Structure 1
Amino acid sequence: MKILVPVKRVVDYNVKIRVKPDGSGVDLTNVKMSMNPFDEIAVEEALRQKEAGKATEVIVVSIGPAQAVETIRTGLAMGADRGIHVKTDGPVEPLAVAKILKGVANAEGPGVIILGKQAIDDDCNQTGQMLAALLGWGQGTFASKLVIDGEKAEVTREVDGGSQTVELKLPAIVTTDLRLNEPRYASLPNIMKAKKKPIAEQSPADYGVDTTPRLKVLKTVEPVGRKGGIKVASVRELVSKLKTEAGVLP
């Protein structure tokens, strides 16, 4: 069984985001980029399933500019077998990403597609669900545990107030949450081996997908800075301020 893992190149989570002076978007000049953290978890889970004998091949796919190859190489250095780069020059919205991934899935025939529940740049949390709908597959979102057994997969997913376990008939979609696993670091030998692993280059047109954006960003602004707090002398004063100034008490 093949496992397909979509990965996205995003601004590194340690970087403080800067907005362009004209408000047209985020300034990416000389900014460190890395694999989306939730996608790292997805790659790790796919590799663990392969090591457990549940899968025979792990394929990493990324949709983005030429630099997205670096993100694919990261997945290959972790242990994935090969990569697919769908090259695009501009931004690609979640629906278009899902349509491209549907084309990749139809071509590769994976038993499971594991992807991060969301990307930390746009926080859309849409691609996995859209892909499941387009393929007509079952889905287990926000997974904190994945057990593959033959033609079925058991997914423990995080929900409000606890957890929920669902059983999926393969092929299926799984989106990962933070508590699923701890991604491994790529060793130097594996980094060297990754340079020789194959990466196929495709385009959205190969899958019949138009990536023209349907949304237009009007303006991007930084969040308003937090104001300093105040000290109160008594509970009576605190309650009064919560009522009259903060407006959080009736």
Structure 2
Amino acid sequence: MTGSAPPLISLRGVSLTLDGKPVLQDVSFDVAQGETKVILGGSGSGKTTILRLVLGLFKPDRGSITVGGKDIGRLSDRQLAPIRRNMAMVFQSAALFDSLSVRENVGYRLWEEGRLPDAEVEEIVRQSLQFVGLEEVIDKMPGELSGGMRKRVGIARALASGAPLLLYDEPTAGLDPVNAFAIGHLILQLKAKGVTQVVVTHDLDLAFRVADHLVMIQRGCMVFTGSPLELAGKQDAEIRGFLDPSSLPAEDWNTLPSRLSQ
């Protein structure tokens, strides 16, 4: 990570209301080139909405979002297309095409773009699957894979795209500890290669394991930004309630679930 380089992503005072309900309020943070930023929060906190804003799927009501130095809030879908090509999404459900083989799923974006010969796409697909340890499933269909394998194929597809920015939406959701550990290991390997990554999760083990820096979102508001070590030392009751509910006084237990899920 190069400290002198401008941030790859920058949010400044971002607020968003959907269907009359405030979803995000005054959120500001940067993602540096080569950084692994984790956006941490409970279900419904607004963290996944941030990914949709970065992709340009939502436009902020207030504030600005820049990606690669360009304010994407003012761009049309056509203008967003080249910016989106520099991003690849790893979805919570893996979002593989069930009617396509693993090979076709991983190479889908490259074949659609049609800029590379088939033989080169095939090599990229194989290298990407090899990176996630799944080259042997290249001819299988998604329905033949376990949940953990599907997630790893999703990462291989993101890698094959060549995008310098990877976005993850709850990459360990629904996985057993062994597969969740494997996903974290892949994220760490990409981190070591200098790939810029934004990881949305409520998985504390994953967050503390892979993050360079964390942003914590509660009820649409940013309640913390800093290093994993700094977050671990916070004594704020709501933050402690998410990190270690057992540390709260007994009188806080009755109100904790509603406060964290609002």
Structure with more helix by fraction: 2
In the superposition, the TM-score normalised over structure 1's length comes to 0.28
| Larger of the two Rg values belongs to structure | 1
